[in-house]
Chains A and B, each alone.
Chain A
Amino acid sequence: MAERSFKKEVEKLRLGEGDDFRGEGILAVTKALLQSGVSYVGGYQGSPISHLMDVLADAEDIMNELNVHFETSASEATAAAMLAASVNYPLRGAVTFKSTVGTNVASDALANVSSGGVTGGALVIVGEDYGEGSSIMQERSHAFAMKSQMWLLDPRPNLTSIVNAVETGFQLSEASNTPVMLELRIRACHVYGRFTAKDNKVPDFTLQDAMENPNRDTSRIVLPPANYLHEHEKLKKRWPAAVEFIKENKLNEILGGNQKDIGIIVQGGLYNNLIRALELLDLSDEFGNTDIPIYVMNVTYPVIDDEILSFVQEKKSVLLVEEGHPEYIEHELNSILRKAKSKVMLHGKDMISDIGEYTSDVIKNGLEKFGTEYGVLNDVDKPNSIIETIDVPQRPAGFCTGCPERPMFTAIQLVEKDIGSFHVSADIGCHLFSILPPFNIGNTTMGYGLGWAGASAFNKDAKQRTLSIMGDGGFWHNGLTSGVGNAVFNQTDNVLMIVDNNYSAATGGQDLLSSKGEHDKRSTQHSIADAVKGVGVNWVKTVRTYDLVEMHKTLLEAMTTKVRGPKVIVAQGECMLNRQRREKPIFNKKIKAGKRMIRDRFYVDSETCTGDHSCIRMSGCPSLTLKENPDPLKTDPVAYVDNSCVGCGHCGEVAHAAVLCPSFSRVSLLYNPSLWDKMKSSIRNGFIGWMQAGVEKKRHARFKRAGLL
């Protein structure tokens, strides 16, 4: 059901010792998990690790062969709590989610498992959604590692290093009884590369062993007095053990040359960008051979004091390349150097930008400052040709062609025309694109599933109710309790609209409790409406989103009805992106097979379109666009439906509901017509053609009389 199928790729997971593995980063991570004899894997989808979840789902058969349990967790908290299995038993487990937002959700469980500590290796793989392409607030996972004391790995972004990080991560976790976080940046998750594979390992201690011979150690549970003991353990036992292991196994690397007086310290994940920046300044070759010594922190937490001190020895100054804010590592290095009374000058955010992603260009600018100040670069000749920026349009993310969520927001526009504007509390999901043009609807978003909670303060008698939005993903993630349960308990009078896409659409079509489709390994088809009623909402309506008239009517009723108490509208419509991916091939097959099929798509009459574009302002569908006005007297472009139209019918519904114009037409194309079809159409065409000929003759005559022919 997922947006992208990895069925073919997952076969690579069977590769053995010495085989050459080629594929995407996330696939390599999965292979690494199997190579390290993992017993259980869980997680929650979200860019940039959505595909990791898809890979794992598609690899379930292979994992079953290896007696690995995989689970698509209900939330990041659920996933993190799964690590409890590694507390009492020598079981290796891994969980994955988007960070920092996913880690926010998971942090309760993460704090607990970190406090009690683990016996089996526990790995938390976070997709660091930071910089270009990110869809969330710009924060760092580093803070979570520090606050709960989990070790943080940030390997160099090539598959060999990433795979090593997974394997040594488990060992580190076991050696120090501490869960380990593996941070992968967006591009590293999607990078295509290669590494030399090993055989997959079947864990020798299995989940079954644990279930059949449970053992208990209450001192691992966070409750007095153990919680105080844990703090002691963390600093006196686990930390030194980790430092020992990291030094022993040289997890951090010293690369580059042996230039005496300067050096560079870099987060492993930024190594490639750093090398390219050096190369562009002629300070390195394309293999990373440079005179400047580089200390690569593949482990960014904890910082290994004596490795740092020995690296900076006899150096005048060191440049730290650390992405993101606050600059935790810079602070730590400064205190290390200060305590050691070191004379070394530490540069970092003062030379490289203190805001934003550390691209090669950004690092290069910093290196220029650093290099010129310390004499490795004689002041660089800046490229004097400053490119004049071209005026290009913004391309805000928007709803796909035929998206079932579009009519919801058109309906909101219509209702606001009827009763005036109202406060809209938005959520996380594709539906959040409503805040962008052309809809510009929505006031706040407080996090996944928190759409209705975000409106809970507006629980007063007022002339206008507030509307909240929530996706089915967010609903099952926590919205059912944090939003609906809360609204029932506190007897709000406001309205919630739940988007039911048949599965989690935004993250790539992963299945949910309410998925419409059958699923052989999961239990689906649990109705959202029933769940809502189950927690005590009495006013519940279910609407097909494409039925704009009904959508409009229902929302208007919800916003104005005399009935008091929480009101919920379940807006149903399958994600068109996935639906097309699934159905187009089937449709074409049927046509090839000679079955009678009908394909709908829309058309706009250029002659009757007056170029006001209100249809576009009420839809924003990518396939509803512009073309030159065929009338030489008119200058404004006319609306036009391009060939990507999937015939969802929204244009027509809008034209009707908003009384726009008579320019829209749904064209039904008939494939493999029946004999009856052919007969009908030939009769019709015959008659109409004959009539049209007559009309044409009259028109012709008109022109003749006017002397225009």
Chain B
Amino acid sequence: MSEKRISIAVAALGGQGGGVLSNWIVEIAESCGYRAQYTAIAGVAQRTGTTIYAIELYPEAEINEQDPVLSLMPVSGDVDVVIAAELMEAGRAVNRGIVTPEKTTLIASDHRIYAIGEKETMGDGRLNGDEVRSSLKKAAKNLILFDMDKMVLKSSSVISSVLFGALAGSGALPFPRDAYEETIRKSGRAVETNLNGFDLGFTAANGAENKTCTQMHTQLPTSLDNIGQFPEEAQPIITYGVHKLVDYQDADYAYDYLEKLSGINEPELLSETARHMALWMCFEDVIRVADLKTRAERSDQIAAEVRAQSGQIWYGHDYFHPRYEEFCDTLPALVGKGMRKSGFWKAILNPFFNKGRIIRPKTIFGYLLLRFVANLRWFRRFSLRFKEEHKRINAWLDLIKTHADNDLSLAHEIAKCPRLIKGYGETHARGINRFSRIMASIEQEKTLNAAVITELCDAALLSEKGTEFNQVLNNSQLTGLTGSDAEKGEFTWAGSS
């Protein structure tokens, strides 16, 4: 195998600028007395797919009358440097067999660009990055892995310049730093920012690789005094819950919460119940949404996320589409119930709810409108939605408590079931529907065990149509309930009471 030749592969997603990077590498190589060949596979790959660029360099000094025969694709076992612009693409390069422990320096960005398969799932479909990281370590001779996307933001440049810097910093190529920077200058496009990106990449690469990891807040906020009655392990979750509830409603609401929790002693079950009940008790009604939309810290969050310059003027146009149902939900329980049923009122009022509205919370009118709704918080306890949700919560809680003693694992699964209830409008109705049917089956079929519930929940999160969910119901002979259509929400359960 040739020692003089340098083979480089660049793995990137369409639009990440793998071509720019490859061209830079070709230019620096030629300026440093190397013969360079480069090729790529364009085509559909450019449209969000993955592309791989193959570059081969050969020292001019070693070329006499015969030209070297250079490869048009990376060949397994023969690649000196692999550059990957995203974590999973580094993994894919390893799967291609072009990263080898004898030869290959792997330079990769540690950030994730999620694939549609990961994004579209109703729960959490993200693949495990840590597994990939550890396999990368095993696969490469030396690995340079850090979050280059952070540096892109920091330098407001593009990832190709950070990668170029990392390549320079890695010392994998026999070229001096200034030659790299000269290449960027010659390109003449966004030179300043690209050089900043390059510099960040360079320093990170020849310094120690810095791992990124997300941590949950370790510093626990103070909590209510009578939280001490609960076992140690469950207290963090409960504390978060308490804070959320006070923020959502008031102290009494938080006390209700603790009240409801008492009687569950097994720590794990308690934490799981506490987690889901806190979220459930903070159901997102129009009052909650309006409250969140009018908060001061939200403006700062938005400004940061959209990268507004300090002091830059911006306006948010928030998309709302409350339906007649949500309107009824906020009315006093009895009135709301009546109106929701009454075709008469629906016919009259529906026109006001059949199209979406755009509200601008940073204008005085928009703010006051939302604030008015948010101020209905005091009234929430009397609203129809509140009554209905709590009826369900209590029924669910009873079910947990009744099974806590005889079948702990089942109780545990029941506690986790509210994860099916998500979203607004029809999405929410769908969740309620599937949740309710599971609860009802537990009540009817005394024989049900935890495994079935897990299977049901997972199936429920597989598709909106609910084909898989119905399948599982059928398989476990819960046919009494499969009749009602899983797509609509008319089937709701609130305990056998």
| Cβ-defined contact, A430 with B47, below 8 A | yes
| Cβ-defined contact, B132 with A392, below 8 A | yes
The interface stretch among B65-73, B177-185, B384-392 is B65-73
Q: Give the distance in Å from the alpha carbon of A48 to the alpha carbon of B76 in the complex.
A: 25
The contact string, 1 if C-beta is below 8 Å from chain B, for chain A 515-557, is 0000000000000000000000000000000000000000000
The interface stretch among A89-97, A102-110, A371-379, A664-672 is A664-672
Taking the complex as formed, is A560 at the interface, i.e. its CB lies under 8 A from any CB of chain B?
Answer: no
The interface stretch among B203-211, B217-225, B441-449 is B217-225
Q: In the complex, which residues of chain B have a beta carbon less than 8 angstroms from the beta carbon of A393?
A: 88, 114-115, 117-118, 127
Closest to A394 in B: B117
Taking the complex as formed, is B398 at the interface, i.e. its CB lies under 8 A from any CB of chain A?
Answer: no
Q: How many residues of A contact B (CB 8 A)?
A: 121
Q: Give the distance in Å from the alpha carbon of A286 to the alpha carbon of B307 in the complex.
A: 51
Partner of B78, one of A187, A276, A656: A276
Taking the complex as formed, is B31 at the interface, i.e. its CB lies under 8 A from any CB of chain A?
Answer: no
Q: Given A603-B306, A637-B124, A702-B250 in contact, is the A390-B95 Cβ separation under 8 Å?
A: yes
Q: Give the distance in Å from the alpha carbon of A641 to the alpha carbon of B353 in the complex.
A: 27
Q: How many residues of B contact A (CB 8 A)?
A: 131
B466 to chain A, nearest CB (A): 13
Q: In the complex, which residues of chain B have a beta carbon less than 8 angstroms from the beta carbon of A276?
A: 69, 71, 75, 78
Tell me the B361-375 residues at the A interface (CB within 8 Å): 362-364, 367, 371, 374
The contact string, 1 if C-beta is below 8 Å from chain B, for chain A 611-643, is 111101100101011101001111111000001
Q: In the complex, which residues of chain B have a beta carbon less than 8 angstroms from the beta carbon of A666?
A: 316-317, 319, 358
Q: Give the distance in Å from the alpha carbon of A268 to the alpha carbon of B243 in the complex.
A: 72
| Cβ-defined contact, A187 with B306, below 8 A | no
Q: Give the distance in Å from the alpha carbon of A664 to the alpha carbon of B358 in the complex.
A: 10
Taking the complex as formed, is A271 at the interface, i.e. its CB lies under 8 A from any CB of chain B?
Answer: yes
Q: Give the distance in Å from the alpha carbon of A430 to the alpha carbon of B43 in the complex.
A: 11
Partner of A670, one of B48, B58, B121, B314: B314
Q: In the complex, which residues of chain A have a beta carbon less than 8 angstroms from the beta carbon of B284?
A: 608, 610
The interface stretch among A236-244, A470-478, A681-689 is A681-689
| Cβ-defined contact, A692 with B294, below 8 A | yes
Q: Give the distance in Å from the alpha carbon of A273 to the alpha carbon of B78 in the complex.
A: 13
Closest to A614 in B: B427
A651 to chain B, nearest CB (A): 8
Taking the complex as formed, is B13 at the interface, i.e. its CB lies under 8 A from any CB of chain A?
Answer: yes
Taking the complex as formed, is A218 at the interface, i.e. its CB lies under 8 A from any CB of chain B?
Answer: no
Taking the complex as formed, is A652 at the interface, i.e. its CB lies under 8 A from any CB of chain B?
Answer: yes
Partner of A613, one of B121, B251, B319: B121
Q: In the complex, which residues of chain A have a beta carbon less than 8 angstroms from the beta carbon of B78?
A: 276, 280
Q: Give the distance in Å from the alpha carbon of A703 to the alpha carbon of B246 in the complex.
A: 7
The contact string, 1 if C-beta is below 8 Å from chain A, for chain B 250-264, is 110010000000000
Q: In the complex, which residues of chain B have a beta carbon less than 8 angstroms from the beta carbon of A603?
A: 302, 305-306, 316
| Cβ-defined contact, A669 with B314, below 8 A | yes
Closest to B315 in A: A668
A337 to chain B, nearest CB (A): 29
Taking the complex as formed, is A457 at the interface, i.e. its CB lies under 8 A from any CB of chain B?
Answer: no
The contact string, 1 if C-beta is below 8 Å from chain B, for chain A 665-709, is 111111101000110010111011101110110010011011111
Closest to B463 in A: A617
| Cβ-defined contact, B77 with A684, below 8 A | no
Partner of B423, one of A186, A188, A661: A661
B13 to chain A, nearest CB (A): 7
Q: In the complex, which residues of chain A have a beta carbon less than 8 angstroms from the beta carbon of B121?
A: 613
Q: Give the distance in Å from the alpha carbon of A430 to the alpha carbon of B132 in the complex.
A: 32
Taking the complex as formed, is A423 at the interface, i.e. its CB lies under 8 A from any CB of chain B?
Answer: no
The contact string, 1 if C-beta is below 8 Å from chain A, for chain B 468-494, is 000000000000000000000000000
Closest to A640 in B: B305
A649 to chain B, nearest CB (A): 10
| Cβ-defined contact, A665 with B318, below 8 A | yes
Q: Give the distance in Å from the alpha carbon of A400 to the alpha carbon of B44 in the complex.
A: 11
The interface stretch among A130-138, A208-216, A221-229, A446-454 is A130-138
Q: Which of A157, A430, A622, A633 has the most chain B CB atoms inside 10 A of its CB?
A: A633
Q: In the complex, which residues of chain A have a beta carbon less than 8 angstroms from the beta carbon of B20?
A: none
Closest to B425 in A: A659
| Cβ-defined contact, B76 with A392, below 8 A | no
Q: In the complex, which residues of chain B have a beta carbon less than 8 angstroms from the beta carbon of A132?
A: 41, 73
Q: Give the distance in Å from the alpha carbon of A687 to the alpha carbon of B368 in the complex.
A: 10
Partner of A687, one of B49, B319, B364: B364
| Cβ-defined contact, B464 with A387, below 8 A | no
Q: In the complex, which residues of chain B have a beta carbon less than 8 angstroms from the beta carbon of A565?
A: none
The interface stretch among B1-9, B343-351, B400-408, B450-458 is B1-9
Q: Given A272-B72, A383-B77, A655-B321 in contact, is the A612-B422 Cβ separation under 8 Å?
A: yes
Partner of B306, one of A667, A707, A709: A667
Q: Given A661-B423, A689-B296 in contact, is the A400-B323 Cβ separation under 8 Å?
A: no
Q: Given A617-B120, A661-B423, A709-B222 in contact, is the A681-B313 Cβ separation under 8 Å?
A: yes
Taking the complex as formed, is B128 at the interface, i.e. its CB lies under 8 A from any CB of chain A?
Answer: yes
B residues with CB within 8 A of A: 1-2, 4-5, 13-15, 26, 36-45, 47-51, 54, 58, 66-73, 75-78, 88-89, 91-92, 94-95, 97, 101, 113-124, 126-128, 131-132, 135, 139, 153, 214, 216-217, 221-225, 237, 240-244, 246-247, 250-251, 254, 275, 278-279, 284, 288-289, 292-296, 298, 301-302, 305-308, 312-321, 323, 355-356, 358, 362-364, 367, 371, 374, 419, 422-427, 431, 464
With A280-B1, A655-B319, A659-B425 given, name 15 new contacts (CB 8 A): A191-B39, A191-B72, A271-B69, A361-B75, A383-B77, A391-B128, A437-B116, A603-B316, A608-B288, A632-B216, A659-B424, A660-B423, A667-B316, A670-B313, A670-B314
Question: 27 A-B pairs, CB-CB below 8 angstroms?
Answer: A47-B42, A133-B44, A186-B41, A193-B37, A286-B68, A286-B69, A360-B75, A385-B101, A393-B118, A393-B127, A394-B117, A395-B50, A437-B117, A437-B120, A611-B422, A622-B48, A624-B119, A633-B240, A652-B319, A655-B321, A659-B356, A662-B320, A669-B308, A670-B314, A696-B296, A702-B247, A708-B224
